[in-house]
Structure 1
């Protein structure tokens, strides 16, 4: 276990350090643990919490019992049971997964958006059904009141697939050339999509009309910001009924109140890399934003940095474990042979493991 500190915030990297080869017998493992101090101090919370090559997306079920991760090569999904601290199952897929969503409270209903335009549905026993969307998809969101899946991608249209009727409905026509990301507000179910032109379009699913438009590209460029091209939207996340955070391809995070067209705070990562993930941590009123190089945790009211983490490998996705005061962060990044995913716990208080 490695311990680092930034701004008096301790970060415990529990899985950092040397690992034992899986082909060793239990007797030889015990012998090595007696001789090597680093191996003896190593803590593994979940067995086999890794991917053979690359892990791209990671999510936690709503009941908090299961952690699901997709990766390559071969394209696969792995499900981990946090109660048993072990891998529950693994399934291989036909093509790489762009993103996925857990529709149920546990792992029994999963939707995968794949790189070959296929949308694949899995139930508890395995593969259930697959269909195809007209254009290559980049993201999707699920609207629970109407059972609609909203797909955005390399098109100006937002495709709607109704799971209750089992058919596609009329698409939403945006003004963008392409749509990169989307999200649905969990309170009033406003649908928002981030475009390649750096704008966010908000739609009312009840009337299927556009109700708002934000020019985030113009707002992200300030006096001390250097950009080489027009920023596009690379991340989007709602928080409550009125707050929305937007990440750009040039490394800025903008926090909006939906009642205003001007951002409350503009936070620059200073690396010029696209923002890949935005999460809200309500216990400490933090926003956790990540690009491929760094994870920054900062106060959503003042913008002051709480702490940051720079792992050894590129970050692909960040997921928060729900209802946890210790602020666990699961980082999914490129994994080399012998290296595993890191589970870090930053907290201001002292902890003994």
Structure 2
């Protein structure tokens, strides 16, 4: 690729010199790791195109390439376009997420998918990044426009989404959305009294889920009292890390993928541990840490409330999701069916995280005062800027 001049005023030129290239590089590296693990998580007994496992691997590679393109394309949006995109995507996928309650496909006890010719889609995955951006706009707009009911609108919108997710049911996504919303409220200046109420509420909700939702109760009990027969997935995944040791057994030499049905999705980190060892696993953790810390460093220098709230929410959601997946693979927390961004298998998950991180890259791009004024001068989500 030719080197772009700083004088290049094309869309690509302006994007290249304003985007956080460290964060972009780390994200592209994650896509590359996802490609390698898509190969590693596929048993090599038969790689013929007639083998369904080979087709799954090929589909994942296509998803990764498409997700990377979507991420880069979304990162070229200006702030006003980010808001408009989030509004459109949010409306469409909120309706589709609600539609799953009526005509959704049930998989593993959850009605979260919509069946389309040749594939299924999980609308809630695309709804989450749009919801984060919309929530940030509502909270920021109430500061700019006296009398604007941004807080109540944000509470109502997030409450509706949480209600739908609970009805599916999707306890993991419910907890992730609620936690991200709390982070945004806290950064917006939530009174400490309500912070305490929220913490108590989270505790009460967790206890209620343990008491009244059967599969949550079972997973917590198996985490506290694992047995070889009943906690098979967690014990098998943990043993994979032991088998891999420091340097791993080598590409294609792992065995956990033959025994765990969710090896390429929920337990892909265990596949990495067995085949590539502790060093590579620490490297994966480091890449996620670089993305989150780099993003937070950008947010700390941000003077626009909308950008700060939206970027912080996107980072919190991304980081929490990665932590939950890796921690559950290591039996540090109860097992939870949550994907590892850009690495676990799944079309909806990969494409949605591409959109998610594209929004983040767009929000954290360097902007001159004139560019900000042009973006916020009129239209949806106009903001006042004094810097």
TM range (shorter): under 0.3
What's the TM-score once normalised by structure 2's chain length? 0.25
Higher strand share: 1
